[in-house]
Amino acid sequence: MPTTSKGQQTFENSIRKTKEDILHQIEKQQLSSIHSEKLYKRLTPKSCMQNLLK
């Protein structure tokens, strides 16, 4: 039995790591999209933005 629990432990650890990696990726993407949105707003005149939002 001890080998199974060890394997289970490793499996759970790898799942946890994968989850963290995915969350990290999502955070990075959100940060970059927020950043590019700010950049976009700064580069785009207000009138153009309002036309796009209509």
Q: Which of 38, 41, 30 lies closest to 52 in space, CA to CA?
A: 41
> Could you state, in chain order, the average pLDDT of each consecutive group of 10 residues for the chain (54 residues)?
76 92 90 82 70 64
Q: Which residue do the tokens 């629990």 mark?
A: 5
Question: How far, in Å, are 1, 18, 21, 24, 28 from residue 14 at the CA level?
Answer: 20, 6, 10, 15, 21
* Dist. CA 7–CA 1, nearest whole Å: 10
Q: Quote the pTM value.
A: 0.48
Neighbours of 7 (CB within 10 A): 10
Instruction: Give the per-residue pLDDT at 34.
Output: 80
